[in-house]
Structure 1
Amino acid sequence: MRLFAAVPDLLLRVSDNGALLGVQRPQAFGLPGASEAAPGSRLEDALPPEVAGPARARLAEVCAGTPLLFDVRRDDRVWEVRMVPAPPQEALLLVRDVTDSRGDTERLRLAAALFENTSEGVLVADAGWKIIAVNEAFSRITGYGRCEVLGRNANSFLRSGRDPAFQSTLEDVLAQQGSWQGEVWSRRKSGEVYPQWLNIIAKRDASGSITHYVESFSDLSDRGRLEDRLAYLAHYDALTNLPNRVLAQDRLERALAWADRRGQRVAVMCLDIDRFRAMNEERGQALGDHLLREVADRLRRLASRTDTVARFGGDEFLLVEEALRDVDHARRIAMRVLDALEPPYLIDGEEHRLSASLGISIYPEDATDVPSLVQNAVAAVGSARGRGGNGYAFFSAEATVQAHEQHRLEEDLRAALGRGEFVLHYQPKVDLQTGEIQGTEALVRWRRHANGALIRPDRFIPLAERTGLIVPIGEWVLEEACRQTALWQSTGHPELDVAVNLSPAQLWDPDLPAKVRRALERSGLAPCYLELEITESLVVEDPERAAKILGELKQLGVSFSIDDFGTGYSSLGLLRRLPVDTVKIDKSFVDDIPHQADAIAIVHAIISMGHSLGMRVIAEGVETEEQMRVLQQHDCDLLQGYHFSRPLSTHDLEHFLNAPPPVSVV
């Protein structure tokens, strides 16, 4: 046993009957249950049962010449027990702590798995840039197999044609800073030049000398195509390929500026298909979408007479006629539009008939700005529909009744805060991994003092934004949402979080960080449970300013989500610069799944992009089991919509939280 005195392990010499013949036990040996047994005692006296039991059971077999090896786990440590025969009729038993070495092996195994299975291409080169290893993703992206690149110089081979000055600067940066990343152009084996996001790390030895370079890169070609598609969808409707609301309003602004300079009129026409919603519910969305495309095609064929034809959403279309000669000219256009929609629509061998209600407002007589002209045209649609539909109406004194109602609404809105007429409803957000409610979105409702009826948000939120009342209303929403969520956490729902929408006026409010801090302090809600939700278009309005404000708020510990993602102008580069934690897929995309492959592809692209940037992805407006399953298949993280629950009052949500999970995600 003297030969093993320096061994840092427990070593026992045991006879075939279990008696200890010799013991070498290090002073710091830490196996729980191991005792200071002396020679002459039994094996069971020196070792804990999980070691002594197997060793005693197989002792005779080991003494006869068959070695034994097994592991024991105690208190997060791993102990290796090795028994070997030692003639005559004896055995040596060695107990060693192998936790660290096993951990090193596991870490090496995981690193190798990551190297081979990551979606990014990886290249390892020595200090002279000679390639010594590449992974499968490298071959998939570049087209080069391992045998074609190993041993070759990365600079002369993969980066031929690149500016030598750039390579020299790159090596200087790596020598001084140890890493570099940026967008570069590279060349595939096929000769195709493609954009690449490249990250290079210089590895050093103990003396500080560079020994290796590790490059990882991703192909930005797909990102460019996705950005092009999102840019297109920011301006055009995915179903009909007509200009959408954003582009139509921009064109209308230009038309008004042109008409103002030339002293001309412009007609704005809003068209709604009569009874379309009922037909869609009765006959199904697929038929409704087909009819909308057919209507769009017929309106598009009138484009020579109407300068802009756009889909505003749902079954609502907008037509803009520039250089309008007179009111009769607008009337004739309206009649041609209605006549064009009248012939039957033949779909799958079946005829369908549609009619529409058309509202008309004239610049400059009815209004001189885009929102008012559109609003007046919409009001006139109501007049046409009130006459039975299948006709047109001009904005007139009759339609001003609605304007007076808006004025009264504004007066009541100004008094509503003081009267305590606002309430919050909460729509649950469901975790797709567990089916549990992960949090809620706080949505403001107005219970009008005059009759106690709830006013729809789409009636008073735009009014609040136009009048500036959205700032105090938003502050109240923030305070109340934090207070109520903290209360729910204290009564059995400790992980519940809450999302609060920020309007443009709130985001640009210089006191916003102080208001958020005050709401958190008063309520006792931890910042990590508050999510501030902003729209994509709001960020694009002033990216640098938005990034600065979001950065200040992020220091408080709150999180951020981008609402209506994919409908605005933002690029992935902009999104990467913002401290955003979650992207929300707009309902307009969710509505078109599972029936439209284009919509599914877009949703998949947004989910993949969000995950690649380390963000969670939530889909809003989920209304069917099919939509939920498609989103689940594409690894969406969270869902929200009427399939799970409508927005609930505080009282109703408390019952909802205490009920079984709202949906099975198995």
Structure 2
Amino acid sequence: MGPINSENDNSDTEKLSLRQPLETIIMEGGFDRDVSETGSFFIADVEATYLGKLLSALPMPALLVDQWFTIIFANEASASSSSDAERLRGKDVRTLFLDASHGAKIGEIFQNVFSRKKLAIVETLLRLPNKKMWCRLHARRLRLGYERLLLILAEDLTLEKRQINLRSRHQKELKQAHDQLEKRVQERTAELMDLTKRLQQEISDRAQAESELELSARMIESSTEAILLIDVDGVILRANEAVAAITGYPKSRLIGQSMEFFQWGRRYSDLSQKIRQAMVESGEWRGEVWDRRMDGNIYPALLSISAIRNDKWETTHYVCIFSDISKIKQTQKHLQRLAHYDSLTGLPNRALFQDRLSQALVLAQRHDKMVTLMLLDLDRFKNINDTMGHGFGDKVLIAVAERLKNNLRTSDTAARLGGDEFVLLLPSMSSTHGAITVAQNILNDFTKPLTIEGREVFLSASVGVSTYPNDCDTPEKLLRNVDMALHYAKERGKNHFRFYSHEMNELAVRRQRLEHILRMSMSRDLFLLYYQPMLDISTGRIAGIEALLRWRHPVHGVMSAANLIPVAEETGLIVEIGDWVLRKVCDQVKKWNDLGFRGLRTAINVSARQLKQRGSAEAMVKILEQSFTDPRLVEFELTESVIMEDTEETIDVFQKLRNHGIRLSIDDFGTGYS
């Protein structure tokens, strides 16, 4: 191991006088000085110096240690003889400590003394030749010649430790005696306290038992549930006030009566037997029963009967608890109705209707009967909501529901699917003639005005009809078929009924294919416009141009888009197509103006679905403004059917277009179609 610190710091040290007293040398740090005036000294001459003599005369162990922790001097007090002290020289001072790890820690402290010139005091167990001792080490750095050494003085703490141990033992013995005395006092006191506590507990238990009995009696009396105490023979011993409140019988009349006074088991012959059997097997029974009040009214009750047993597990009594659950039953019934009936009209909702439809088909199959399904939709009901408000519209729906029920048999079902759509289920029909009669009667009934809030309301309806087993054999197919029939009834001009036919399904498939073609054509830009001139017969000149929509068929080339327009109107794509046509026309008008063909008015066919779209007029005007097209050069052609439908809304749209200078005209007037 290298030296603790080999640095040379002669610059700030003073010379040491060995004649100073030992206490002054240790406490004031006088060792941090040269030993001689000449500055030369040999470690072997320590004993001959005043310091060596002084250390040898000390009654406590004294050691001098060099920078490598090697003992270079040990006085006789460090051992039992001078020869033992001589054997200490040359040893590592850290080996004198019993614990190696502790010795290393002491070594670190000594190293700090070498480095910082501070006095260190440490209490430890020191192992010297022929003895071990507790001591307090005083360590201080000093300089002998050119060598820096560590002076270690060991103050013997053996007597002090012995006195401390003796004092500790005496204190421990005194504490044990005190504890024993205190324990005997506590034991005697505990015996008295235990007797007192048992007496108090006995008094308290008796008072608590009486209090609990009183509390239990009050609890039973204040309970809203009826409680009866019955003996093993079935005789009523006690009853609370709730029994009288629920049944109407005073307690005085019930006490002493047999349990058979209550009529829980009389409505069901086997109920009493089940209760008795449960009492024998498990000692308890719980369930719903029906009982009769004193006034004769029947009410539902939730009944619970339990056996009371003693320590020998013998039944001594029965406790019977029951409550009136009339309100719960009413709530359940109300929730059941909300789950299966329309909250506005009171008619069965979709869930209940589908359940009845499934049952009707099962019965029809079993008894070889026909089931007729009718789907009814009010024509132009949206106008009523928009003009009169939804509250007024709700009253109209309620009146319609009443009319429908008046046209049906008790075995028939009228249900509301949602909005203004109703469905009629007619089971056990003998032929389609009966269904035709019902459908015609319903339409005839709708010709009569309804009086709502003092106003007459005229309605019409479209009806789709499908039958089992003629059309299909499952509820899902029957609903799908009747929906197709309703669609075709509306296409006939409303206020009609239409029976489903297999051709409708083929048309529906074809319509679905056309819708796919339509969407594909929009995404692939397969539409184009042809422009047809309109001549003035009197002059032979071109008076205007009409834009005609065409479709580039992948196989057959350019074709009329007439077959796609109805599908576009149904799907709503007509709005997107109409906007596309208007933009293309505006671009073409601009090109014609640039070529010098000014003042030519271009006519565009406008669909009814476009005009019904909210904000349609504003959208058309915006397209004209974005393309910088003069509105006077554009003319919108409308069919007469557009003008006749939703008159008020249509007039409003017309007025907005006219206000922006757009001209309107009727196309194919008198034909009823475009």
Find the structure with the greater CA-based Rg. Answer: 2
**TM-score normalised by length of structure 2:** 0.37
**TM-score normalised by length of structure 1:** 0.37
The structure whose RCO (Cα within 8 Å, separation 6+) is larger is 1
